[in-house]
Amino acid sequence: MVLSLYVILFLALHLLPGMKSSMINVNNNGYDGIVIAINPSVPEDEKLIQNIKEMVSEASTYLFHATKRRLYFRNVSILIPMTWKSKPEYVMPKQESYDQADVIVANPYLKYGDDPYTLQYGQCGEKGQYIHFTPNFLLTNNLPIYGSRGRVFVHEWAHLRWGIFDEYNVDRPFYISRRNTIEATRCSTHITGTNVVFKGCQGGSCVTRPCRRDSLTGLYEANCTFIPNESQTAKDSIMFMQSLNSVTEFCTAETHNTEAPNLQNKMCDHRSTWDVIVKSDDFQKAPPMTGTDPPPHPTFSLLKTKQRVVCLVLDKSGSMNSEDRLFRMNQAVELYLIQIIEKGSLVGLVTFESVATIQNNLIKITDENAYEEIRAKLPRAADGGTSICRGLTAGFQAITHSDQSTSGSEIVLLTDGEDNQISSCFEEVKQSGAIIHTIALGPAAAKELETLSNMTGGYRFFANKDINGLTDAFSRISSRSGSITQQAIQLESKALSITGKKWINGTVPVDSTVGNDTFFVVTWTIQKPEILLQDPKGRRYNTSDFKEDKLNIRTARLQIPGIAETGTWSYHLLNKQASSQELTVTMTTRARSSTTLPVTATAHMSRSTTHYPNPVIVYAHVSQGLLPVLGVNVTAIIESENGHQVKLELWDNGAGADTVKNDGIYSRYFTDFHGNGRYSLKVHAQAKKKPARLSLRQQRNKALYIPGYVENGKIIVNPPRPEVKEDMAEAEVEDFSRLTSGESFTVSGAPPAGSLTHAFPPVKIKDLEATVKGDQIQLSWTAPGKVLDKGKESKSLLSIL
C-alpha cells in the first residue's frame, strides 16, 4: 500500500521530544521537579488543567500505597503553551520546556484511540523518555476502559521512572503453562476471568461462546479474549491491569508469573516488577515513611512558555587561532543566525577572552538586517586568556539590559580553552534560571563545561577534527516549544576533500514534508569552488546565484526561492585551484507548511558518561510526528578526542541493544573506544532506493484497553477499541535524508587507542520462537553477532524432529 504523506498527516500532530534531561528528583520521599507540558496546538481548555491536577493528586496517594509508603508526588509544574491566553497565576518557566517534559499532553499519535503510553526503549531498569496523554483521555470518562486516570498515571510512571514493562501481551494473550493448562498472559495468576469468543454485539450486550483449542498450536483460537471478573481479591499487578479495584500493588517474587510471555519477563530475565523497582535510584533515596498519615497533597505551579531568548557567548581567546577555529566558529554562527534560529526570536552576542564584551544586546530576528547587525560583530581576531564566568555574566547582562528575564532564556556557550575558575559562577548560573548549551571545541576545552549543561538542562556538544562538527552542533540547538513546523531540519552535512582541478558530485533528496526556507551552503578552506546545483525539474543554479559572505569567512549560500521542489537535487563542485582543499556542503530546510509534519530524526547515547569496559548504546528515533518510520538506513558517526571516527549502522530488529522490533527506534552497542575524554555523536537517517514505511500500529508500553468485565456471571462489554486494519497498518514513505547531532558523552578508564583488552560476550537472544511444522518443532531466532551485537546480523532456523 502506498499513501501520500499528506493523506496520513492528520493522524499525527506532534513532535516527539528527543533526548531529554529530566529535572525530577526525590527529596524526603517526595518527587519534585515533575514537568507536564501541553502542546502548542492543543486548544485552550481550563478543564484540562483541572483534570491534570486531579489525576496527579489521586495518583500520588495510589503511588504512596503501591510503594509501601516510600514515594509520592510533591511538586508538579504544568507548562502552558504560548498559544493560550496569559493569566495572573501563570508564571515564567526556568529550565522547563515541552521537549524536556516528563509528561506531554498532545493529540493522539493515531486517530485510532487515546491509549496513554510511555516512550520507553531502554534496557530493564532504565528510565523512559516521556508519558503521552491525549486531551481526549484527560477530558472524557474512561473509567470502564482503563480505570481511573490516577491509576493509569502510576502504571505509566512505573515505565518512565523505573524501567519496568507491561505484564500483558496483546500479540500472545495466552500461553501453555508447565501444568499443561492454557493461561491468560498476566501477573499475577490470581486474577480470575473467563475466556470467550465474541460472536456479535449490540449496544452493551454480546453473544459469546467458550474458546476452542487450536489443534496445531495447542492454544486457544486466534480471536479468543480474556475477560476479567469485575470482583477480584488479587492485589497485583499494576503493570497488568491497574483498572481492577482490588489491584493496588506490583508483582513481587512471591506472586510474579515467570512463565508469562510478556515484555517484563523478556527484558528483565523473569524478575518481578517489584524486584526491579526496589533497586532503582529513587528507592535508594526513599526509606518507608513512619506513621499512618497519608502523604501531603501535591502542589502545582502553572508556567507559561515565553518568547525565545538566546544569547551567544563565544570564545575569542588566543587558542582560537589554531586549526582555523575562529573561522569555523564564525561560519557555524552565521548559519545558525540565518538558517536555524526561529524568526521572532531575540538574540544577543557576547565575546570573551580574559574579559568579556557585550557586542549586541538582544535583537529580534525578523529579517536580513537583524542578523546582519549581529553577524557584523563576530570576532575577526583571537587573543588573550579564557574566562568563561565573565562571558556568562556578560551574557546574563545582555539579556537583562534588554528588559528580559534570564529565567527561561538560553545561553549558547562555545569555548576551546581550559578554565579552572568555572565553579566560581555555578551559584550565579543556578540562580539565573537560564538554560546553558555548551559546545566544547577541541580536546583542551574545560572539563567542567558539561556541569553547566547538566545543572541547567541544556545541551552539550563536542566538535574536534570533523570540520562540520560545529555547524552540526549549532543546527541541533532549536526551539524546545514543541512547534516542530518552525524548527530547522538538516538534510545534508558533508565534508569533502577534493584534489586540484577535480569535480565532486552528490545528491540530496527533498521529500514532500519539507521544502520551506531551504538553504544550500558551501564552505571552502582556500579558494571558492565552481558550484552547480540542479533541482529535480532540471532548473540550474550556478556560482553566480550564490551569495558570498561579506565577512570573508569562505561561505557561499543560496536560499531556494519559494518552496523547494520535491525529489532528488544534485550538486557538482569544481576545485579550480591546483592543490587539494576541504569543502563542506550543508542543506537545511523547514516543514513545507504549518500543517505539514516533517520526518525527523533525534539521537542520543544511553548514558552521558561511561567507565570502560561498560558499553553504551546509541539510539536514534526516526518519526513523522509521533508515528515511527520503519525500514530506514540509519548510521551513527562517533568521533573521539583524538579524531578517530567510527561509523556504526543502527538496527530496529528487536535483537541486541534494540528492545522492540519495528518501533522506529534504531540502536546498537558502542564498544570501539579510542582513549578517554569526550566523544561526539552524529546520525544520518536516509531512505534511498529502499522503501521506508510509516507505522500506524499501536504503541507499546501503554495502559491496557479492557474489553469488558464479568459482573455477576454476565459479561459487560466496553466499546470495541478502534483498530488499524492490517492492510492499512503501514504507509510507504518517499526518499528522504536527515542529519542530526546527539549530545556528547564522556569515557573514562579506557586503555590507549588500539590496545583494548576486554572481550564482550554475545548479547542474549531475545526473540527465540518455537512453531509446530507437521511433525517437527521449528526454532527461530536472531543471531546479532560475536561481540554484543557487533557482527553480521543473521536469522537462524533449527528444526527438531
Which CATH number is 319's domain given?
Answer: 3.40.50.410
Domain count, the chain: 6
So what's the pLDDT on residue 600? 95
Is 313 in the same domain as 400?
A: yes
pLDDT at residue 688 is higher than 70: yes
740 neighbors 602 (Cβ within 8 angstroms): yes
User: Domain check: are 645 and 569 in the same one?
Assistant: no
User: Please, which pLDDT band fits residue 232 given cuts at 50, 70 and 90?
Assistant: very high
In terms of pLDDT, which residue wins out, 20 or 753? 753
Give a yes or no: residue 642 inside a domain: yes
Work out the pLDDT band at 4, boundaries 50, 70, 90: very low
Mean confidence (pLDDT) of the chain:
90
- Distance, in Å, from the CA atom of 198 to the CA atom of 715, rounded to the nearest integer, reads 10
Concatenating the DSSP letter of every residue in 663-728 gives: SSEEEEEE----SSEEEEEEEEEEESSS-EEEE-SPPSSB-----EEEETTEEEEPPPPP---GGG
For residue 508, the domain's CATH number is 2.60.120.380
Rounded CA separation 713/404 (Å): 65
Give the count of beta carbons closer than 10 Å to the beta carbon of residue 209: 9
Q: Report d(CA 173, CA 197) in Å as an integer.
A: 13
In a domain, 189, yes or no: yes
The residue behind cell 566544547 is: 440
Tell which wins on pLDDT, 770 or 618: 618
Which tens digits make up the pLDDT trace of 402-450? 999 999 999 999 999 989 899 999 999 999 999 999 999 999 999 999 9
Residue 266: per-residue pLDDT = 93
Is the CA virtual torsion 183, 186, 189, 193 positive or negative? negative
In a domain, 269, yes or no: no
Calculate ∠ Cα 109-110-111, nearest 5°.
135
Residue 13: pLDDT over 50: no
**C-alpha gyration radius of the chain:** 28
| Boundary of a domain, candidates 447, 480, 513 | 480
φ, ψ of residue 530 in degrees (nearest 5): -75, 135
- Tell me the C-alpha distance between 696 and 628, whole Å: 8
Active-site residue flag, 156: yes
What is residue 142's predicted lDDT score, i.e. its pLDDT?
Answer: 87
| 3-state SS, residue 83 | coil
The rounded distance, in Å, linking the Cα atoms of 494 and 505 is: 12
Kindly tell me if the per-residue pLDDT of 109 is higher than 70.
no
- DSSP type of residue 416: -
Residue 122 is placed in which grid cell? 531502554
**Which residues pair with residue 105 across a beta bridge?**
38, 133
C-alpha cell at 194: 473467563
| Terminal C-alpha separation, the chain | 39
Q: What pLDDT, in 10s, does the model give residues 724-734?
A: 555 455 778 89
- pLDDT score of 19: 45
Q: Do both 372 and 241 map to the same domain? A: no
Q: Are residues 235 and 255 in the same domain?
A: yes
3-class secondary structure for 15-34? CCCCCCCCCCEEECCEEECE
Task: Kindly give the residue spans of alpha helices, DSSP state H, lying in 209-292.
Answer: 238-241, 263-267, 273-278, 281-284
pLDDT at 1 (0 to 100) = 35
* Confidence at residue 449, expressed as pLDDT on a 0 to 100 scale: 94
Our CA angle for 97, 447, 308, nearest 5°, is: 25
Domain boundary at 227, 261, 295, which? Answer: 261
Per DSSP, the residues of 305-320 read ----EEEEEEE-SGGG
Pick the catalytic residue: 46, 96, 156, 530? 156
Quick one: 299 and 158 in the same domain? yes
Q: Examine the domain organization and report whether 547 and 507 are in the same domain.
A: yes
Write down the pTM of the prediction. 0.90
Rounded distance, CA 692 to CA 310, Å? Answer: 37
Flag whether 5 is in a domain.
no
Give the DSSP H/E element, type plus range, for residue 77.
strand 75-80
Q: Can you name the residues that pair with 634 across neighbouring β-strands?
A: 650, 685
* 8 Å CB contact between 11 and 626: no
Compute how many other C-beta atoms are within 10 angstroms of the C-beta atom of residue 651. Answer: 20
Helices (H) and strands (E) in the chain, counts: 15, 45
Does 717 map to a domain? no
| CA–CA gap between residue 746 and residue 447 (Å, rounded) | 10
Last residue of a domain, one of 593, 612, 643: 593
24 and 37 inside one domain: yes
What mean pLDDT is predicted for residues 771-793? Answer: 68
pLDDT given for residue 10 in this prediction: 31
651: its cell numbers: 538496527
Beta strands 736-748; 609-611: pairing state:
parallel
Quote the CA–CA distance of 350 and 366 in Å, as a whole number. Answer: 20
pLDDT at 17: 37
What is the four-CA torsion angle of 543, 546, 551, 554, rounded to 10 degrees?
-50
Q: Quick: pLDDT tens for 29-56.
A: 999 999 999 999 999 999 999 999 999 9
pLDDT digits (tens, 9 = 90+) for 636-658: 999 999 889 999 999 999 888 88
Which is more confident, 786 or 721?
721
Residues 409 and 462 in one domain: yes
Residues forming a β-bridge with 133: 105
Question: pLDDT band for position 794 (50/70/90)?
Answer: low
Q: How buried is 787 (Cβ within 10 angstroms: 0-12 exposed, 13-18 middle, 19+ buried)?
A: middle
Q: Is residue 755 part of a domain?
A: no
Q: Grid coordinates in use for 567?
A: 525529489
Q: Long-range contacts of range 609-613, CB-CB < 8 Å, 24 or more positions apart?
A: 609/745, 609/746, 609/747, 609/748, 610/745, 610/746, 610/747, 610/748, 611/747, 611/748, 611/749, 612/673, 612/747, 612/748, 612/749, 612/750, 612/751, 612/758, 613/671, 613/749, 613/758, 613/760
C-alpha cell at 503: 569535480
Question: Which residues, in sequence order, are CB contacts of 4 under 8 Å at separation 6+?
Answer: 512
Has residue 272 been placed in a domain? no
- Do the domain assignments include residue 421? yes
Find the range with the poorest average confidence among 6-15, 312-321, 392-401: 6-15
Q: Are residues 332 and 377 in the same domain?
A: yes
What is the domain-level CATH number for residue 662? 2.60.40.1930
Q: Going by C-beta distance under 8 Å and a sequence separation of 6 or more, which residues neighbour residue 288?
A: 68, 69, 70
**Does residue 541 sit in the same domain as residue 632?**
no
Strand partners, 651: 667
Res 499 pLDDT > 90: yes
Domain housing 326: 307-480
Say if residue 157 is in the same domain as residue 218: no
DSSP 8-class letter at 289: P
* Rounded Cα distance, 676 and 192, in Å: 55
> Letter for the amino acid at 780?
S
* Domain match, 313 and 416 both: yes
Tell me if 584 sits within 8 A of 468, measured CB to CB.
yes
